[in-house]
Amino acid sequence: MARPPQNSATNLRNGVAPSMATLCAFLSGCVGDHFFRATGSVVSCATSAPVAGAGISITIDQGAAPGPYSSTPSTDGQGNFDVRVADYSDAWVTLKFQAAGFLPLSHQFQGSPEAPISLCMTSSVGP
């Protein structure tokens, strides 16, 4: 016997729509406020000038997916950064900043900071 074509009402009766609704609710909960996020600025310790274009490597030290993170953001022209990691907001994450003319700077966060942070990088060139 041929099966009648499926439509929204049939899917709803068969449980397809509730399953999709459940999946969407689950995903929105996962991607909502459950990300680790750190924002702030990086300046030169000596001059307080912004450090533009500093590369940022991310390592998840403790969280759902420990290890190096695939994203490699950088500071903008004013030395600002906005790092978002697809892990729990209370994950332990180390950010390592690297820029030409500066010593590398690492900072570990134990959960997403409440407010933007300010960091300074030391020049690798002597006085």
Has residue 26 got a pLDDT over 90?
no
Residue 18 confidence (pLDDT): 43
Coil, strand or helix at 43? strand
For the chain, domains (ranges, CATH) are 1-32 (no CATH), 35-121 (2.60.40.10)
CA-to-CA distance for 99 and 113, rounded, in angstroms?
23
Distance CA 64, CA 61 (A): 10
What would the 3-class secondary structure string for 89-116 be?
CCCEEEEEEECCCECCEEEEEECCCCCC
Is 0.75 topped by the overall pTM?
A: no
- Per-residue pLDDT for 22 more than 50? no
pLDDT tens digits for range 46-90: 999 999 999 999 999 999 989 999 888 999 999 999 999 988 889
Pull the structure tokens for residue 27.
């995903």
